[in-house]
Structure 1
Amino acid sequence: MPRAFTPKELKAIVAIIRDWPIKQKLTWDDICKASESVLDFVPSRQAFADKPAVINAYKVRKAAITSHRDKLASIPKPKSLTAAAETIARQQEEIRQLKNEVQAMAEMARRFIHNAVIHGLKREQLNAPLPKVDRK
């Protein structure tokens, strides 16, 4: 009769499953082989059948891997390396522009707050919610 798993071994196996690479397929056979490093033997899939922590970790990680794979499949792929490079360059330029806009808005907000405090507005007044719009 096989020995029971200790809580420490189960935690280690659950950690192996949670840390499973997102790009690698997750199967029970692979989990059993990876568990050898913790258990010093290769358990069967059935050995994990009544271990809720292991089963739950498997289901959650499997869903994450499947979701990642489906997300990647839905992204349109460029037809050539040149098209990909152009897309990357365009997106990097857009990111740079957006960062500059955010910086300018933050500076404007700092200026507004500074001037509001200098001219007598209190913190409570600055943090007051906007009034409700009456559309009647």
Structure 2
Amino acid sequence: MAKHLNRRDIAAIVNLIRGWEEAKLTWSAICEEAEPLIGKVPTRQSLNAHDAITTAYQAKKDSLKGKAPKKPLPASLNAAASRIANLEAELVEVKEQNRKLKQMFTIWQYNAYKHGMKESQLNMSLPKIDRERSDKEKR
């Protein structure tokens, strides 16, 4: 039976994938390497059920295939330290923005429920825009 993964397990597996240094990345290899981290060998299906893990997996696969941007080499340690500090500051800002968006989504989710909206209504696609229509037809 597959082990249910908690947040700590998911974070550990995502970090495992991000730090993967071997040339080939497979689900079975991740499952084997995750055992010491979470105490049990997870199944591919239990890993694939979590968006954070599948996103990290796909990003790492792309980077191993050469689709990811190359790491720029800094001119000096000072330039590297400055770049790291800027990226860390940007990461803090993005995390805060993400937290606020999640909070806004929760409010919207509650209000939609409160007013009787169904999930299917919320997931309806946007109407297609007819760009061929002239202004004369609107009138």
TM-score range, shorter chain: 0.3 to 0.5
- TM-score with structure 1 length normalisation? 0.46
Structure with the larger helix share = 1
Q: Which has the larger radius of gyration?
A: 1
